[in-house]
Amino acid sequence: MKLAATYARVSTARQEEEQTVKTQLSAVHERIQKDSLNLVKEYTDEGWSGDILARPALDQLRQDAKVKLWEVLVVYDPDRIARRYSYQELVLDELREAGIEVVFVTVSAPKNSEDKILHGVRGLFSEYERAKIGERFRLGKPCFGAMVQLDGSHHDWFEGRRDKCVLMVMVDDATNQMRARFSEEETTRASYDVFEGWGRKHRLPGSLYVDRDSIYRCEGAASVADQLAGKERQTQFGRAMAVLRVELILANSPQAKGRVERMNGVLQDRLVKALRLAKINDLQSANQFLETTYLRAFNQRFARAAASPLDAHQGLPRSLDEILSWEEERVVQRDWTVACEGKWYQLDKQHEALSLASRKVVVRTLRDGRVQLVYRGQKLKWRELPERPVRAKKLRPAKPRVVPTPVTDHPWRRPLFRAGRAARRFGLGDAGCPERSGGRPESPNPNRETNKTTATNKGEILS
């Protein structure tokens, strides 16, 4: 039985989520069982483009092939090895020189000149398909507002005149329309502010393309309750986008969101000089300069028309300020208080009909510092307590212990034996027990010679 290895590759996170690696490996394992091969090793590259030859698993595969750790390599399709035909031939030639047999699941390996020609044509089509994918990506979306890229650019924007800060940049994928805002750090608040500016100006985009920062992506598994409900963990920004029905797309690399990355480079050159010429040294003046002067002139010069005249932006809700906030669920205590972030809130008595004790309410903190308590969409009235409320313990009055005295005819007072011959015989007292002078009472008629006691059966005792 020949020793075999497998190789599989996916290039995007969406393919990883759709488990195309498992699909490839499932087909490969069926082929191994069909050919009666002995699987000894598997190589998998997840999130690696087929246009790149230097991949961790592929590099290890080529090294192991040189020392011939296995005899057969099983791959789902030739384009899994590489999208470029030249790279495919390079790897296949190395394997042939090492004496490794290559088996493809979707196509048969070339055995003669005609098969090699067909294999070459297939490789050229794979390379052409890869080029078309890149071309479609560079062209962007056809409609204005279909997708907007968001990123934070960390740079010394004021050339040492103040501390370093971050410029939050949003770029439309179809028109190159740009919007930006300065912030001290790249935080959820900074993302909220620049997104609100875009929404007030153009309305809500259809999707938002961001990186995998913790602002947009939650690490770790969801709670048991969320898993049972089919929900995934969300950041505050992700929750807000879900409420607004804006699709949040996470990029796999900086190159994937190249449009906003290139815009960052342009602004780090042009905007820095504009701030220097305007003699601006603080964030407030810089943001005002962007709103009133710079953004309008920049978009007039560099923005282009979209391929389609349609505008894909969605309507803007009136409660945008309340959606772009921080929300936490808290349980109402029995004294109708709610604790959140070290503060205590007392709910008003007018909500008694809601029976809020032991129920969950949402504590919403707006960007201007206001706090709202919400229960099932209804805003509640409350007042903040200066300190944690002291819950008084209910003291129950001690009840005096009463020892009951048995009545005269209580069973405890009744004799065990009725008055009669047996009672007189055994000398029973009022309680039905023999009177004791001390120790255990002796048997009434002992027979010391035979060490037996005269039988006193139940027939002698009156029942």
| Helix H or strand E segment including 181 | strand 178-183
Predicted confidence at residue 18, as pLDDT, reads: 46
CATH of domain 148-302: 3.30.420.10
At residue 463 the predicted structure's pLDDT band, cuts being 50, 70 and 90, is very low
At residue 224 the predicted structure's pLDDT band, cuts being 50, 70 and 90, is confident
At residue 383 the predicted structure's pLDDT band, cuts being 50, 70 and 90, is very high
Q: What is the pTM of this model?
A: 0.60
Residue intervals in the chain for CATH 2.40.50: 325-385
Residues 6+ apart with CB under 8 A from 259: 140, 149, 171, 173, 176
Among 291, 296, 165, 285, residue whose Cα is nearest residue 276: 285
Residue intervals in the chain for CATH 3.30.420.10: 148-302
The answer on pLDDT for 316 being more than 90 is yes
Predicted confidence at residue 19, as pLDDT, reads: 52
Instruction: Say if CB 88 and CB 81 are below 8 A apart.
Output: yes
Average pLDDT over residues 52-58: 88
Question: What digits encode the pLDDT tens for the residues 57-79?
Answer: 999 999 999 999 999 999 998 88
At residue 447 the predicted structure's pLDDT band, cuts being 50, 70 and 90, is low
Instruction: Say if CB 179 and CB 206 are below 8 A apart.
Output: no
Domain 3-139 has CATH 3.40.50.300: no
Predicted confidence at residue 196, as pLDDT, reads: 96
Average pLDDT, the chain: 83
At residue 206 the predicted structure's pLDDT band, cuts being 50, 70 and 90, is very high
Residue intervals in the chain for CATH 3.40.50.1390: 3-139
Instruction: Say if CB 271 and CB 277 are below 8 A apart.
Output: no
Question: What digits encode the pLDDT tens for the residues 104-126?
Answer: 888 876 666 666 676 667 666 66
Predicted confidence at residue 92, as pLDDT, reads: 87
The answer on pLDDT for 347 being more than 80 is yes
The answer on pLDDT for 153 being more than 70 is yes
Q: Could you tell me which residue, 408 or 431, shows the higher pLDDT?
A: 408
Q: Could you tell me which residue, 137 or 43, shows the higher pLDDT?
A: 43
Predicted confidence at residue 119, as pLDDT, reads: 64
| Class of CATH domain 325-385 | mainly beta
Reduce the DSSP state of residue 69 to 3 states and report it: coil
